[in-house]
Structure 1
Amino acid sequence: MFRRLASLLILVVAGSCSGDLPSSAVSDSQAERDFGILRSSTSIVSLMRERNIRSPDLSAPDPLLQLQRELAKSDPDGTFAGITYDLTRGNSLAVDWLVQTPNRWGRRADDLTWFEMGCKDCEPGQRCPAALAARRVTAGTGGVEIMGIGRLGAGITEDFANQSELACDLMFGAAHKSIRIAQQDLGFRLGRSDTLFAESALDEMIDLMERDGDVYVVLSNPGSIGNGGSPHYNDVPLQVLAKRLKDIVQKRIDTADPRSRYAIRKGPDPVNALLCSRFHLAPFRFGPDDSWPGGKTIANHSKLWMVDDRIFYIGSDNMYPVNLQEFGFIVDDRKAVDALIESYWNPLWQWSRRASVSGEGVEKCIFREIIE
């Protein structure tokens, strides 16, 4: 499977995410099913509960092997094994496997040069993705475990074939310390009167925060449009995401103690205290500027998540709930994740956190600004 795998791309992941988005997203209330029958509309929460699907133990050996076994419970006949989920071992990554436009972090927006994929007029030392297309992940010669993970789009099958979202939720549930996310958005509202969120993923994030873990999220900027004219923003302001998170945490508190809402508070609001300290939210920045020259907003089209600085996903799958066909890779390798953090995540967060709206050191936390 991986003999023909091209280099993993960080800053540019195209293909299945382009074009018009079908209005096939479903809310939890629509995702009903008969017991024991898996459908394409099956909710992740119901699936995990009724099939006893559990998160891997990251302290145990072979977490991706554990993940493979749990994913198989969502596919009892093995119909999609090797299609939407496939674990391979013995892979090796080149030392310079991480491909991104070099030497661009921290530069002014008007100091960046647009390069065609052919890279005919590259600066000295410039390495564009097209020039690296021949690089392969070598199978059978190393010790890297990589899981190919995907989902089938709406209308392809009536069976459950969304192992990508299921794997994300399971890995989030396995986190002990941190979840790091770089995405276009966590919600979807384009052409809709309501807003859909990846509810199960949000629940897993909140579970981690309640265990004293931290969640870091970098999203696209409001109104972002790609050079091809496609939207890289789902009409979900950060305030709407913050309101949804706040509602979920408040509901948990009310469920645990229905009288708590009416009690005289003697300390900080526990909802704001949790979210303002543990949920680190920022719009995408690559340098000191908030926009491109002329005021055009900066888009983030990455699809990356990382758990405990140990295992990461990179591919095409958005975390907002729209039923597109997607594919990516989950990688468990210490050296690879160290390179990813040093070369991509650290500069991403260094510049994005300057515009952060919640998290450590943010005075005007967005969760305190929301009016009930």
Structure 2
Amino acid sequence: MADLSYIGEATVEAMRKDRPDMQGTCWNITSGKVVGEVMQTPSKDFWGVEKIANNTHSDWGPKQMCDIIVRAERWVDITSLSTPTGKFLGCLGKAFKQLHDTGRPVTIRAFFGNIIGNPTNVYEVMNALKKELPEDTALKIWVGSLRVGLSAQATWNHSKIIAVDGQYILQGGHNMWDAHYLQKNPVRDVSVELEGPVAHDGHIFANWMWQVMSSMDVSLILDDSSLPTMTVCEGQPTRVQLNRFPDSIERQAPQYEAKVGVAAVGVAKIISLGRYGNLQIGSAPANPSDAGLEAMMASARKSIRISQQDLGPLAVPIKFVTVPLPGTVWPTKYFQAIGGALCRGVDVHIMVSNPHSVPGGVKMANYGNGWTCEDVGGMLVKVAMESNPQVPVEEMSRLVSSHLKISYIRSSSKSRDWPDGEHVGNHSKVIIVDEIAHYIGSQNLYIANLCEWGLIFDDADQTAKFMDSYWNPMWQQTFNAKDCLANEVMERALSEWPQYDDSSVEARTLAAAHSLKQICLDAGSVDIKEAKEYLERLGYGVDMEVKGLLDAMEEFHDLDKKKSGHGGDPCCCAVQ
């Protein structure tokens, strides 16, 4: 590790201690060349803009994704949260047709998650992707989706990767959702394109998820079902769906194997790191990125900068009260790392999404779990004080006043809201330490047991470029000291907060059920039985009125789909 900084060394050492056997599969030390500036949507030119009203501001995003795909000579891996929609789906179809026209025998694997209550319909996705392809195409395409578990700790894919031939890759936070990213008042996000050996790691990460699917009984998986098959994996309820084209190819997708002689491009030192949650094959949990990100932040000597959707736990998606979902917790280990740095006088700057943010192109979304900046700061300082009892309260108060800054994202410094009244949303997953190393990937710092993947750039020059392109203009528009007052943070940290009034459980339950009803009604596809079971597993009783509403959802949704011919963008998911 001689070529790594002290940040990179700490990160790698933590992952070697956690899962040494997963090096080369779930984490690795590699290299690559960053192509152009970081991919941020909307582009940096839109910082300071009070409204984004047109629907063409980020059309270059799906085009950039597909420009990478059409370079393929032999292999394409795509992983994303759920069904691509709108221009994203259209661009993918055009890219597949362009690949077909070359005659090259390219293997394409597309792997998606299955969000609880809003499963991916891979049959519908495949129909859109193959629309212009003949049965005798040289392409071999597999589209799969998977979820293991039905609780707050369920696992589905959350990584966002496009990897081509072990040589080209685009990864980060972007989902392929037209209404969220390409229409008016969009959510903000960050990804990065690279060339070089780092792309190989993206393929290998995808291999494990496909291997889990291959371990299941394929006779249970229906190619043409609108909903994923219900089965059991590692003793947990599981949703799985698989489709292939042409029909003549083998049922299960093959494993990617590295091509000998791929050129090493660029000199940027990179650490790839991921986690698989419950997607494991007879082994202990394989989540080394948790330990890696914790160690990265704990190694800070001067500064930690964080851009995230939220840091508080998943909560009931209602606006008048913030209540964690049963089984969810605050990210204590991350807060111990950040809080320990704060106690050493390290500057901690955090930017989060406004609670319950809704992009202008969708009816309902939830970019922000509901926690305020002062909630996040209060819990961070509470954990810091418990973990560092040697720091007196007076000194902690001074440290908070001088070194801790937490703010909501803004498009323009004038307001947290778009002109239509909806809050500005953030979906980025960014960490910068000491202006030496930075992380871009899919992993949120609030706790969610999903499949995640990202990259740490252990390179001061590359980190400086990233800060100039993204962090500095963002922070200039975003930071407002009034978002997080030091006295409010300390009041929370020194109190018994958070506590919840048991007498309001019934009201919260009813509101949660109604909210889930609206979420499912607007979703592209829905499983009513699963939605009810999920509520019961979370401990929410559903009264007869709400049960009746849930029972009516399936009939309503079927009628709506017949009218539209296609489900719309995913409108809301607990983990984005």
Q: 2:333 maps to what in 1?
A: 200
Shift of 1:320: 0.4
Conservation of the 8 A alpha-carbon contact between 1:182 and 1:303: yes
Which of 449, 452, 475 is the equivalent residue of 1:326? 452
Q: The residue matched to 1:331 in structure 2 has which SS?
A: strand
Q: CA deviation at 1:334?
A: 2.5
Letter in 1 for 2:478: S
- The Cα of 1:63 is off from its aligned counterpart by 5.1
> CA offset at residue 132 of structure 1?
2.2
Report what 1:13 is aligned to: none
Contact in 2 for aligned 1:272/1:367 (Cα 8 Å): no
- Match among 147, 150, 170 for residue 271 of structure 2: 147
**Does structure 1 residue 271 correspond to structure 2 residue 402?**
no
Distance 2:332 2:278 in 1: 19
Number of residue pairs matched by the alignment: 288
For 2:387 and 2:343, the matched residues in 1 are separated by: 11
Q: Which amino acid aligns with 1:115?
A: T
> How far apart are residue 233 of structure 1 and its match?
1.3
Matches within 5 A, 1:167-182: 167-182=292-307
1:133-282 to 2 correspondence within 5 Å? 133=65, 134=67, 136=168, 137-139=194-196, 140-157=264-281, 158-191=283-316, 192=325, 196-226=329-359, 227-228=361-362, 229-252=364-387, 255-256=389-390, 269-282=394-407
The CA distance in 1 between the partners of 2:333 and 2:2, in whole Å, is 19
Indicate how the Cα distance of structure 1 residues 142 and 160 shifts in structure 2: closer, same or farther if over 3 A, else same: same
Q: CA deviation at 1:147?
A: 1.7
Give, in angstroms, the shift of residue 313 of structure 1.
0.5
* Structure 1 counterpart of 2:427: 301
Q: Quick one: structure 1 residues 282 and 61, their matched pair in 2 at CA, closer, same or farther if it must change by over 3 Å?
A: closer
Q: Is the 8 A contact 2:405 2:481 kept in 1?
A: no
Sequence identity of aligned pairs in percent? 25
User: 1:129 corresponds to which letter in structure 2?
Assistant: G
Query: Shift in Å at residue 67 of structure 1?
Result: 3.5
Q: Do structure 1's residue 344 and structure 2's residue 470 form an aligned pair?
A: yes
Q: 1:340 is paired with a residue of what secondary structure? A: helix
For structure 2, the 5+ residue unaligned runs are: 69-167, 169-193, 197-263, 317-324, 496-576
Give a deviation string over 1:188-245, Cα, whole Å, max 9, x none: 1424258621111111111111211110000010221344544211132333323323
Give SS of 1:97's match.
coil
1:280 is paired with a residue of what secondary structure?
A: strand
Query: Which amino acid letter does the alignment assign opposite residue 411 of structure 2?
Result: F
Query: 1:353, CA displacement in angstroms?
Result: 0.9
Alignment of 1:19-30 (within 5 A): none
Report the CA distance between 1:252 and its aligned residue: 4.9
What letter corresponds to residue 459 of structure 2 in structure 1?
Answer: D
The runs of at least 4 consecutive aligned structure 1 residues that moved more than 6 Å come to none
Give the distance between the partners of 1:368 and 1:69, measured in 2 at CA: 34
Of residues 189-198 and 303-312 in structure 1, the stretch that sits farther from structure 2 once superposed is 189-198
Task: Indicate the structure (1 or 2) with the bigger Cα radius of gyration.
Answer: 2
Secondary structure in structure 2 of the residue aligned to 1:339: helix
Counterpart residue number, 2:55:
114
Q: Distance in 2 between matches of 1:366 and 1:66?
A: 33
Residue in 2 that maps onto 1:367: 489
Matched, 1:132 2:189: no
Structure 1 residue 369: Cα displacement: 5.5
Unaligned segments of structure 1, at least 5 residues: 1-55, 120-127, 262-268
Instruction: Tell me how far apart the structure 2 counterparts of residues 73 and 316 of structure 1 sit (CA, whole Å).
Output: 23
Distance 2:426 2:268 in 1: 28
Q: TM-score, normalised on structure 1? A: 0.69
Counterpart position of 2:436: 310
CA distance in 1, matches of 2:448, 2:377: 20
Q: Deviations along 1:286-344, whole A, 9 cap, x unmatched?
A: 21222012211111111000110110100100000110111111112233211111111
Tell me whether 159-168 or 194-203 shows the greater mean CA deviation. Answer: 194-203
Corresponding letter in the other structure for 1:106 = G
Read off the aligned partner of 2:63 and give its amino acid letter.
A
Separation in 1, partners of 2:24, 2:469: 31
SS in 2 for 1:159: coil
Residues 153 and 130 (structure 1), Cα distance of their counterparts in 2 relative to 1, 3 Å cut: same
1:279, distance to aligned residue in structure 2 (A) = 1.1
Q: Distance in 2 between matches of 1:277 and 1:62?
A: 25
Q: Partner letter of residue 323 of structure 1?
A: N
- Cα distance in 2 between the residues matched to 1:108 and 1:182: 20
Secondary structure of the structure 1 residue equivalent to 2:480: helix
1:154-203 C-alpha deviation (Å, 9 max, x unpaired): 35355131111111111111110000000011111424258621111111
**Given the superposition, is the C-alpha separation of residues 366 and 247 from structure 1 closer, same or farther in structure 2, using an over 3 Å criterion?**
same
Query: In angstroms, what is the RMSD of aligned CA positions?
Result: 2.8
Distance 1:333 1:173 in 2: 18
Does 1 or 2 have the higher relative contact order (CA < 8 Å, sep 6+)?
A: 1
Quote the offset at 1:69 in angstroms. Answer: 4.4
Structure 1 pair 68–204 and aligned structure 2 pair: CA distance change class (3 A): closer
Structure 1 or 2: larger helix share?
2
The structure carrying a bigger strand percent of its residues is: 2
Structure 2 residue identity aligned to 1:317: Q
2:294–2:337 CA contact under 8 A, matched in 1: yes
TM-score by length of 2: 0.46
Query: Contact conserved, 1:71 with 1:167, CA < 8 A, in 2?
Result: yes
Contact 2:350 2:407 in 1 (8 A): yes
Choose which of 4, 8, 11 in structure 2 pairs with 1:67: 11
Give deviations 1:14-39, integer Å, cap 9, x for gaps: xxxxxxxxxxxxxxxxxxxxxxxxxx
- Number of the residue aligned with 1:264: none
Q: Which amino acid aligns with 2:50?
A: R
- Structure 1's 243 and 98: CA in aligned 2 closer, same or farther, altered over 3 A? closer
Q: Structure 1 pair 324/252, CA: closer, same or farther in 2 (3 Å)?
A: closer
Q: Secondary structure at the match of 1:71?
A: helix
1: CA distance, partners of 2:421 / 2:443: 29
